[in-house]
Structure 1
Amino acid sequence: MISLLLDTSNQALSVAVNRDKEVVAEINTNYKRTHSETLLENINKVLEIADLKKTDIDRIIVAKGPGSYTGLRIAATVAKMLAKGLNIPLYSVSSLFVLAASERFDGSVTALIDARRAHVYTASYDFKNGKVETIAEPTYQMFKEEDNTQYFLNDNEKRTIDIVNFINVTPRISRVEQFENMLNLEDADLFTPNYLRISEAEKNWQDKQK
């Protein structure tokens, strides 16, 4: 089975092709570029490296959020377009789980995405013997560092949270397929990202209506 995996939920970009859940080709970048300009280009690159065509793809897996509103919409739009155009299944996975699964680790992990203004998107997972369970579902909250907690964070120069002890992780969506129980089958016509909160523009609009 050939899977195409996409994550543009934050500054980092991750695109991969897996064959039977093993990585064939992947591109992971961690610098600020416009995902709308690079996603299709990188999809074509990984397919070329893997010596595959789009028609060889059996399913799409996309990071559904939380994360950047614009980034989430870019990957979701491309994933839906490919799934419908190729008539193949579309699966989603939490962007926080992508982060948590990107490093080989045994034990409990709390994944963090900086949501600005000292807030985070966060979720916790327990990895043991090649399996994983969700300890805490994704939430949006004010961040306070806790002792004896292993944090995974994709750090960058715009960090707004005060944190000392963490592992700086570059998201690798190729890793999530090892954990089939974390993937969700979606309706490609109805699928929307999981933003967890409304955007600043939407909040401002709602405030004006009061």
Structure 2
Amino acid sequence: MKPDNILALDTAFGEISACIHTAEGSFLSAAATEHGKTRSTSIVPMLNGLLNRAGLTWNQLDLMALGAGPGSFTGLRIAAATLAGINSGMKLPILHLSSLAITARQADVSDPLWVLEDARAGEAFAGLYQEDLVVGEDRCLRWDEVIAELEPGLFACHNEPPVTLAGWQRMPLTMTRSEALLAAALAELERADLPTLPCYPEPVYLQRSQAEKNIYG
């Protein structure tokens, strides 16, 4: 049986995006972060406001969804900690969504599309999508590897790439992130095995630690 009332949250790239989906309709909300920093104190009031608009209480939710990453380390950690705290007593299943897949939906492109997000420290988060299908798994590459190893094509991102991507075509993000978050959650829900979903959020960082970089280069 599919859940009726779903709450989804994503804070991976420069904004707090959230949505609630019910049998009666969907409700979206978004807020800019403060100087690029996600504040935990901003998230819960936003979610409370969404619940009020939807006419729900926390106890009426059936499932939560998280934009699990990759993305901003602080943003992912705060979103995960917030949902973990909220869910500590309810023990709802949590659906984990790729934050790059959400970005791909924002571009609303039917052709194969790379999502290339700056991960800083000379690295990029990269994933290849076509509509709602994963063509190439999310991974972390150095920008020089992106240039040398990936065949130029269409790409989307939030922040300006720190390198020149000759031959690539950047596609505009025409859908709001909250709308894309909702679409991604509903699509992933169709593929999910609900009884096996975890009750604790697990962010996907992808980047190696500095110690790993020192060892493996």
Q: Specify every segment of 5 or more residues in structure 1 that has no aligned partner in the other structure, as ranges.
A: none
| SS in structure 1 of the partner of residue 169 of structure 2 | coil
Q: 1:206 to 1:108 in 2, by over 3 A?
A: closer
1:46-105 CA-partner distances (Å, limit 9, x unpaired): 222222221221100001111111111111112222333223211101111111122433
Q: 1:160 to 1:37 in 2, by over 3 A?
A: farther
User: Identity of aligned pairs, percent?
Assistant: 21
Equivalent residue number for residue 27 of structure 1: 30
1:13 matches 2:19: no
Give the aligned residue type for 1:17.
I
Identify the structure with the greater helix proportion. 2
1:46-195 superposed matches below 5 A: 46-127=50-131, 132-143=132-143, 144=146, 149-155=153-159, 159-163=161-165, 165-169=169-173, 171-172=177-178, 173-180=181-188, 186-189=197-200, 191-195=201-205
Identify the structure with the greater strand proportion. 1
TM-score, normalised to structure 1, is: 0.79
Q: Is the 8 A contact 2:64 2:93 kept in 1?
A: yes
Q: 1:122 to 1:182 in 2, by over 3 A?
A: farther
Q: Is the 8 A contact 1:117 1:161 kept in 2?
A: no
Q: 1:92 to 1:33 in 2, by over 3 A?
A: same
Q: Specify every segment of 5 or more residues in structure 2 that has no aligned partner in the other structure, as ranges.
A: none
RMSD after superposition: 2.9
TM-score, normalised to structure 2, is: 0.77
